[in-house]
A and B are shown apart, each in its own frame.
Chain A
Amino acid sequence: MRKLSLENINKLFAAVAEDKTLYLPVDQSDGSAKYSKWAEGTVWSNALNTVRSPKDLFFPQTEDLMEFKTEGKNIEVIDIRKESEDFVIFGVRACDVKSFEVLDRVFLSEPVDSYYASRREHAVIVSLACSRPSETCFCTTFGIDAINPEGDVSAWKTATDIYFKANTEKGEEFLASIEALTEESDDTAVNEQKAKTADIMKKLPLADLTTDSFGGGKTEELWNNPVWDEFSQTCLGCGTCTFVCPTCQCYDIKDFDTGNGVIRYRCWDSCMYSEFTRMAHGNNRLTQKERFRQRFMHKLVYYPENNGGLFSCVGCGRCLSKCPISMNIAKVMRKIGGDK
């Protein structure tokens, strides 16, 4: 385990940023944090987490896919892909690290999405253990260990120091690159903090939330649950939950005519939107209830069914704090689980 005094954290950032682009949570003017590029003077946020998840860095909200030039009846397809640059994402919480696995199963399954894959291959993920989880956290529900986050490198921040441990080859390389700044250390301080945090985790209001009622093969059982009617009643049908969610990956592909060519781009889409499934001659999800159900069934039933039981929710709590009407997956799980 390597150790660095927090006083020197900016030296570390400077060293990392020298040959790789470094992204880390930074406070914005409204008080919330956002993953931003580090530059001299950038201050690492103390916030528990960002509003937008780090999925942005692999799967940006909008992304140009290709361009077309048209001339008369002819079309030219222009591949505008570029290999991603090497970059480091620093300070990723355990829940968000897990979200990358959820996204990987979609984008890296055949046929591989080259846009996502390129960024994924060039990224080093430095995770950060939690020490002050919020009441909206429920990562333990999905078997995520907030005090032992995964990622290429795991980090623990105490009041004075930050500790690093490599988990992968990429991680070893990363630690080697900052070896001069860090010193070898035992894990006493880290273990102490882990024990403290573990106690808090047990006391979280959502600590008792379980996935017992969910998982692959539960479609029939849950399909007609009254919860969908009841909880979707006042759903605004906005995309907040989807857009702040680290695991939501539905997208739309659209064309933009620039006047001198056409850009085909993709952007995030939301199953909560009424036109998500609208076709020229109909829509298979006509009411908000159906759309609402789709979102939760996808995360809690369909996705695990296709991915060996892995849920497509990581309990980060973003939707809990951001939904305009405070409706969220925890409430849905509580209600269905409680019906048992």
Chain B
Amino acid sequence: MQMKEYKPLIVAFCCNWCSYAGADLAGNNRLNYPADVKIIRVPCSCRVNPMFILRAFQRGADGVILCGCHPGDCHYTSGNYYTRRRMAMLFSMLDYLGIERERTRVEWVSAAEGAKFAATMNDFVAQVTALGENKRLEDLRCKR
């Protein structure tokens, strides 16, 4: 019997003003990135509450990536600066609890960086694929 190829489920929170547009551009330019990346559009990267990240893992994500405008370019002036601190602390805590640090990432992607978006997603998916399924922050009830 052939093993089904493992494809990770990736949740990407993308800020409306930069990264979501970046993802759009990647699509328009026919740049490939895996379909297993589920994009959730947020008004600003700082809209993402730590609970969102945990809930994504609960609901079956194997990796969570957060994309926002480059520091200094936030549509709301400073949202992504807060994001940077918050996520740095959250990811550090997840790591402290023994949850693989490779499952989380923050990346700054502008509206012009379609190529970077695709490259980032390809890289992140490869990284999570190497790790395998998320076992440490999973909720078995959601996997039946």
- Does A102 make an interface contact (CB < 8 A)? no
Which secondary structure dominates chain B's binding surface?
Answer: loop
- Does A258 make an interface contact (CB < 8 A)? yes
- Does A94 make an interface contact (CB < 8 A)? no
- Does A224 make an interface contact (CB < 8 A)? no
Nearest CB of chain B from residue A259's CB, rounded to whole Å: 5
Q: Cβ of A256: which chain B residues have Cβ within 8 Å of it?
A: 141
Q: Cβ of B144: which chain A residues have Cβ within 8 Å of it?
A: 258, 260-261
Nearest CB of chain B from residue A64's CB, rounded to whole Å: 8
Scoring B60, B141, B144 by chain A CB atoms within 10 A of each residue's CB, the highest score goes to B141
Per the bound structure, the CA–CA distance linking A263 and B60 in Å amounts to 17
Q: Mark A242-264, 1 if CB is under 8 A from B, else 0.
A: 00000000000000101111010
Q: Cβ of A260: which chain B residues have Cβ within 8 Å of it?
A: 142, 144
Scoring A256, A259, A261, A263 by chain B CB atoms within 10 A of each residue's CB, the highest score goes to A259
Per the bound structure, the CA–CA distance linking A256 and B140 in Å amounts to 12
- Does B38 make an interface contact (CB < 8 A)? no
Q: Mark B60-85, 1 if CB is under 8 A from A, else 0.
A: 10000000000000000000000000
Q: Cβ of A258: which chain B residues have Cβ within 8 Å of it?
A: 141-142, 144
* Number of A-B residue pairs with CB-CB distance less than 8 Å in the complex they form: 11
Q: Mark A13-46, 1 if CB is under 8 A from B, else 0.
A: 0000000000000000000000000000000000
Total interface residues on A, using CB and 8 Å?
A: 6
- Does B59 make an interface contact (CB < 8 A)? yes
Per the bound structure, the CA–CA distance linking A263 and B143 in Å amounts to 12
Among residues of A, the one whose C-beta sits closest to the C-beta of B142 is A258
Nearest CB of chain B from residue A103's CB, rounded to whole Å: 27
Chain B residues numbered 109-144 whose CB sits less than 8 Å from any CB in chain A:
141-142, 144
Nearest CB of chain B from residue A159's CB, rounded to whole Å: 43
Nearest CB of chain A from residue B137's CB, rounded to whole Å: 16
Per the bound structure, the CA–CA distance linking A26 and B141 in Å amounts to 28
Per the bound structure, the CA–CA distance linking A258 and B141 in Å amounts to 6
Per the bound structure, the CA–CA distance linking A263 and B144 in Å amounts to 11
Per the bound structure, the CA–CA distance linking A258 and B58 in Å amounts to 10
Q: Cβ of A263: which chain B residues have Cβ within 8 Å of it?
A: 141
Per the bound structure, the CA–CA distance linking A258 and B59 in Å amounts to 8
Q: Cβ of A259: which chain B residues have Cβ within 8 Å of it?
A: 59-60, 142
Among residues of A, the one whose C-beta sits closest to the C-beta of B139 is A258
Nearest CB of chain B from residue A171's CB, rounded to whole Å: 37
Q: Mark A208-235, 1 if CB is under 8 A from B, else 0.
A: 0000000000000000000000000000
Nearest CB of chain A from residue B92's CB, rounded to whole Å: 25
Per the bound structure, the CA–CA distance linking A256 and B141 in Å amounts to 9
Q: Cβ of B142: which chain A residues have Cβ within 8 Å of it?
A: 258-260
Nearest CB of chain A from residue B122's CB, rounded to whole Å: 27
Per the bound structure, the CA–CA distance linking A21 and B134 in Å amounts to 31
Nearest CB of chain A from residue B144's CB, rounded to whole Å: 7
Chain A residues numbered 257-280 whose CB sits less than 8 Å from any CB in chain B:
258-261, 263
Q: Cβ of B60: which chain A residues have Cβ within 8 Å of it?
A: 259
Q: Cβ of B59: which chain A residues have Cβ within 8 Å of it?
A: 259
Nearest CB of chain B from residue A322's CB, rounded to whole Å: 26
Per the bound structure, the CA–CA distance linking A263 and B140 in Å amounts to 12
Q: Cβ of B141: which chain A residues have Cβ within 8 Å of it?
A: 256, 258, 263
Q: Cβ of A261: which chain B residues have Cβ within 8 Å of it?
A: 144
Nearest CB of chain B from residue A256's CB, rounded to whole Å: 6
Nearest CB of chain A from residue B56's CB, rounded to whole Å: 12
Per the bound structure, the CA–CA distance linking A261 and B144 in Å amounts to 9
List residues of chain B with CB under 8 Å of any chain A CB: 59-60, 141-142, 144
List residues of chain A with CB under 8 Å of any chain B CB: 256, 258-261, 263
- 11 A-B interface contacts by CB (under 8 A): A256-B141, A258-B141, A258-B142, A258-B144, A259-B59, A259-B60, A259-B142, A260-B142, A260-B144, A261-B144, A263-B141
The 6 closest A-B pairs by CB, nearest first: A258-B142, A258-B141, A259-B142, A263-B141, A259-B59, A256-B141
Known: A258-B144, A259-B142, A263-B141. 8 other contacts (CB 8 A): A256-B141, A258-B141, A258-B142, A259-B59, A259-B60, A260-B142, A260-B144, A261-B144
